[in-house]
A and B are shown apart, each in its own frame.
Chain A
Amino acid sequence: MILLRLISWPYIRKHALRWLLTIAGIVLGVAVFVGMHTANQSVLYAFRQTVDRIAGSTQLQISSGETGFDENVLDRVQGVREVRIAVPVIEAVVNTGLPGQGNLLILGVDMTGDRGLRQYDLESGDEAVIDDPLVFLAQPDSLIITDTFAKENKLGIGGKVPMSTMEGEKLFTVRGIMKSSGLASAFGGNLAIMDIYAAQKVFGRGRRFDRIDLAVEEGARVEDVKSKLEALLGPGFQVESPSARGQQFESISRIYALTANITSAFALFIGMFIIYNTFQIAVTQRRTEIGILRALGATRRQVRTIFLGESVVAGLLGSSLGLLLGIAIARGMTGYIGALLGEVFGIAQKAEEISTNPALMLFAVVLGVITSVIAAYIPARNAARVDPVQALQKGRYQQMSAGENRVRRITALAVTILAAACLLLSRYRLLAYAGDALAVLAVLLLTPTLAQWVARALRPLLRWLRPVEGTLAADSLLQAPRRTSGAVAALMLSLALVVALGGLTRASYDSIFKWLGVALNPDLFISPSQSLTARSFRFPGSMADQLRAIPGIGEVQSVRDARIQINGAPVIFVAADVRALVNRATLPPTAGDPTKMYRLTGEGKGILASDNFALLHGYKLGDVLDIPSPQGVLRMPIVGIVVDYSDQQGSILMDRSVYMRYWNDDTVNIFRVYLARGATEAEVKRRILDRFGTERRLFVLTNRDVRQYVVRLTDQWFGITYVQIAVAVLVALLGIVNTLIVSITDRRRELGVLQAVGGLRNQIRGTIWLEALTIGAVGLILGLAFGALQLYYSLRITGEDLAGMRLDYEYPYQICLVLVPVILAVAFVSAIGPAESAVRGSLVEALEYE
């Protein structure tokens, strides 16, 4: 501690700006980590909180995926002796149409028995509305809202809430206002209670419930009742505690969490190189000080401890600032991520407040400190090895010794061979990951050598551009590789990340567009919701015939989709008339005979699995799936594997007749409409709206609208990735600024001498500018080259472990064309400050430096 105060503190104070830049790497790394995770956790927490508050004293919930089930299931459940109370529930999210209110979570309940599970504490209103279900039930427009929602919308008892229902636009009457606590605080207070049978009509559920909430008799064990109900209802039903819904949400949004993890870890990894660079330079600059300390009797361990101590302080400070910045990021992003996850996965939650997890915060601080200590370890070890005599010889430690270089190169060669071996054997998933890690390590070990090679190759160009400044700039890099290798490595890694993610994004877009062209080719789509992933509302199956009667419509295909669980994995099933579908759209097969697979699926003798479902869950052609349905397990072979991106977790396509038989449900999520010859989109759309506009809630989307919707969703998904790329590049650029500041400080005397012998200020400026541009160029060349390899691994990882997409390798040249001028421009801009500092300093002081 004393050493830190006496030796480290004066140095840190003297180089405060550099220290701030150094810890900026940690700040950004930790901030991204904390921000992304906190935002993600807040969304999850909001969902769980909504589930908990709605659950009340519910001990078990019975559901059948998203498909719901017949009303008669309730009688069977209520007939179980150990079940004290079992009540039906319909849950749906609707847009109220009230300005600024967004979504309202509607809970459809049977008020006759529901009070046994949930507390409806009235703030105001007719007590009888709650206590007398008769009034509530007799008027299907009855709504009980929360105090929060009432205040926000200046609604009182008797107030009207407009809602777009399956029977057209309707006004609902507020007949009760709940106190804003407990149940009423679920979904951020945007909650309304409705009679379950009214909800069935409003949301087009037919005679079905979404789930049953129940409590067990006193003395009965919940686990026993669960087992009994599972045995009674069969595998088509899930009997779980309310908290299990949170786990399902977590499982569905797993890809997002994983993406956030990878990119934030990368940001921290890049930050590590800046710290490494700074400490390496600090060791070089302070070698005299270290030599004196060693001469005065300080042990190697004590010297190492000083530098490691400094790294701990830097890590702590950086992590603390990173925490604050991360929380600010989370505040800004939680709503966005919540909306994105809701849109992509069709799961209702309302995340407005952030939920900070102390364990995550602590982990982030520890991660920041460990990163800092790891980054500083090699420089600290080098400091401990300083020979007091050599320490007085200026410049010696800036050059890497031939021996040291040889060891590095040999190690790098060995690691490269290992990486190549792993690449050859990359069909084993673990070896593929190991290959990527080893490739990164090999490139990092080779960075100083590669950077020197590139700098040497660039020297003639620099010399040609500016004979004096160019030569000085190139020599500065060649003579002091340690000073720049960290910054180059950070920039290289960042750019490799940009190339990999850019290529991945491009490939994803290409695949999605190809799929859109094949799968989504109807002229019009009719949906009960604006969002195609929302499945709260459904059309009755009979509407298809009504649509067919509209002039200008050539063909109508009814599609029902819903999320179910197969062997614990969430999957979307798409039920459509396969024989009609195949005449219009044939999804590209990746396994199976195209003619046979569609024939068998159409005959109800098999199902088609999406390629991503098969890849993610390891299914092959011919495997038999046990699909749980309310009528029992539906055993269907996979008769074909096709490219389909209906859902990130994968999808299965079955014939609608099979779905109707096993789920006893003829409702429809989307009608795919093909126009008759000569009909126009606008005209038919108008006719559909004229026919159904007043009596049904429906949205008629053109093919273009749907494509734009999918593209917008994809843009939003990758939008977060772009932010993370920007942070990674920012961290790398901080490295360049840092390196230049160090370079100028380190060469203060050299620059002073240059000025003393007649060097012009502009020449000094030019030298520093060119040095910065050279660092940028070296980073660019290495980064863009290494990015090619990283892109390969990213496509593999995404294909096999994250999204299950088979993506074509295509190097993102367009992104590279943008990166070159951007990085060079930023490198130049980052050199302006240090260059001015170099030319405006006192010449005498510069000559006296050291």
Chain B
Amino acid sequence: MNKTLLVSGCWFLVVGALLGQDARQIVAESQKRGQSRSQQYEGTLEVIGAGNKISLKRWMFERIGSYGASKAILRFTAPAEVKGVALLIVNHQDRASDQWMWTPALERDRRIALQDRSTRFFGTDFSFEDLEERDVNQFDYKFEGEETFDGQPCWKIESKPKESKSSQYTSSLMMIRKDNYVVIQIENFAKDKMVRRIHYSDVQQQDGIWVGRTMEVLDANRGSRTVLKLEKLQYNVPMKEESFTLEALRRG
């Protein structure tokens, strides 16, 4: 009995140490599997307010590059009053992204300040920061165990932003599916309080990449939800670097 306990204890110590290292490897693997040269989709946004009031928006999303070095442009296509408004996101490996917004009616762009990244992304429950790609190198990780989530065995991993990464969140708790390394939930915390939960569902393989095609964001403070559905999703579509510049943003 004592021997069994001793062996078990040693095993846990060894596994614990190994898992501490593995947490980062799991996230890195997840990132690696999701990598593509480019991504394109038509997104449908459904914002369900606290009073169950629903508003709909549609956008066209294009991304070139992957993770820390990617650039993305998001153009609203509906409703009519926001059509043409666009957002350019330039992600960096060592710092927060740069973001610019284009307003066609005014014919001018504006920079989204770093301080504003924690604010809601145009009435949705996403914040501007949530639109950034999370690069594995910008966080420290801790393995929190395994559990079954949405009927799938998952790894539970806590991430904390490194000093260089400016973030509104103090930590995040990720659920990563063991079978395909797809992140199916991120709970974001600010000072130990869960403020935003992003849940990925409808996980499918597209162009060899596993992806959750439905994203539901819950704003815990407001009690409102936003559902983003990825339609006409494609990976590795040919795209040009020059389509992801401020000039391109202004051209529309």
**How many residues does chain A have at the interface if contact means C-beta atoms less than 8 Å apart?**
27
Question: B186-211 vs A: 1/0 string, CB under 8 Å?
Answer: 00000000000000000000000000
Distance A84 CA – B116 CA, assembled complex (angstroms): 10
Tell me if A578 counts as interface (CB < 8 A to partner B): no
Distance A198 CA – B106 CA, assembled complex (angstroms): 7
Distance A132 CA – B126 CA, assembled complex (angstroms): 12
Q: Is B119 touching A113 in the complex (CB atoms < 8 A)?
A: yes
Partner of B105, one of A83, A86, A127, A140: A140
A205 to chain B, nearest CB (A): 12
Tell me if A116 counts as interface (CB < 8 A to partner B): yes
CB-CB under 8 A from B122, the residues of chain A are 132-134
A296 to chain B, nearest CB (A): 85
Q: Is B119 touching A135 in the complex (CB atoms < 8 A)?
A: no
Which chain B residues numbered 103 to 134 have a C-beta less than 8 Å away from chain A? 103-106, 108, 110-116, 119-120, 122-124
Q: Is A138 touching B82 in the complex (CB atoms < 8 A)?
A: yes
Counting chain A CB atoms within 10 Å of each CB, which of B76, B101, B105, B114 scores highest? B105
Q: Is B123 touching A132 in the complex (CB atoms < 8 A)?
A: yes
Q: Is A84 touching B53 in the complex (CB atoms < 8 A)?
A: no
- Asked, given contacts A113-B116, A128-B55, whether A134 binds B123 with beta carbons under 8 Å apart, the answer is yes
Select from chain A the residue with minimum beta-carbon distance to B57: A134
Tell me if A112 counts as interface (CB < 8 A to partner B): yes
Partner of A78, one of B53, B114, B119: B114
Select from chain B the residue with minimum beta-carbon distance to A137: B103
CB-CB under 8 A from A195, the residues of chain B are 106
CB-CB under 8 A from B111, the residues of chain A are 75
Q: Is A116 touching B123 in the complex (CB atoms < 8 A)?
A: no
CB-CB under 8 A from A810, the residues of chain B are none
Q: Is A197 touching B110 in the complex (CB atoms < 8 A)?
A: yes
Select from chain B the residue with minimum beta-carbon distance to A75: B111
Q: Is A134 touching B76 in the complex (CB atoms < 8 A)?
A: yes
A709 to chain B, nearest CB (A): 34
Q: Is B76 touching A85 in the complex (CB atoms < 8 A)?
A: no
Distance A137 CA – B107 CA, assembled complex (angstroms): 12
B114 to chain A, nearest CB (A): 7
Partner of A116, one of B81, B104, B108, B119: B119
Tell me if B49 counts as interface (CB < 8 A to partner A): yes
Q: Is B82 touching A116 in the complex (CB atoms < 8 A)?
A: no
Partner of B106, one of A83, A128, A140: A140
Which chain A residues numbered 195 to 249 have a C-beta less than 8 Å away from chain B? 195, 197-198, 201
B119 to chain A, nearest CB (A): 6
Partner of B115, one of A84, A134, A137, A138: A84
Tell me if B182 counts as interface (CB < 8 A to partner A): no
Tell me if B96 counts as interface (CB < 8 A to partner A): no
Counting chain B CB atoms within 10 Å of each CB, which of A112, A113, A133 scores highest? A112
Tell me if A510 counts as interface (CB < 8 A to partner B): no
Tell me if A115 counts as interface (CB < 8 A to partner B): yes
CB-CB under 8 A from A198, the residues of chain B are 106
- Asked, given contacts A75-B111, A78-B114, A197-B108, whether A138 binds B85 with beta carbons under 8 Å apart, the answer is yes
Partner of B101, one of A113, A116, A137: A137
Question: B32-59 vs A: 1/0 string, CB under 8 Å?
Answer: 0000000000000001010001010100
Select from chain A the residue with minimum beta-carbon distance to B224: A131
Tell me if A139 counts as interface (CB < 8 A to partner B): yes
A415 to chain B, nearest CB (A): 68
Which residues from chain A sit less than 8 Å from chain B, CB to CB?
Answer: 74-75, 78, 83-86, 110, 112-113, 115-116, 127-128, 131-135, 137-140, 195, 197-198, 201
22 contacts between A and B (CB under 8 A): A75-B113, A78-B113, A78-B114, A85-B115, A86-B113, A112-B113, A112-B119, A113-B115, A127-B53, A128-B123, A134-B82, A134-B85, A137-B103, A138-B76, A138-B82, A138-B84, A138-B104, A138-B105, A139-B81, A140-B103, A195-B106, A197-B108
Given contacts A75-B113, A113-B116, A131-B123, 9 further A-B pairs with CB under 8 A are: A75-B111, A112-B112, A112-B113, A131-B120, A133-B122, A133-B123, A134-B82, A138-B104, A197-B108
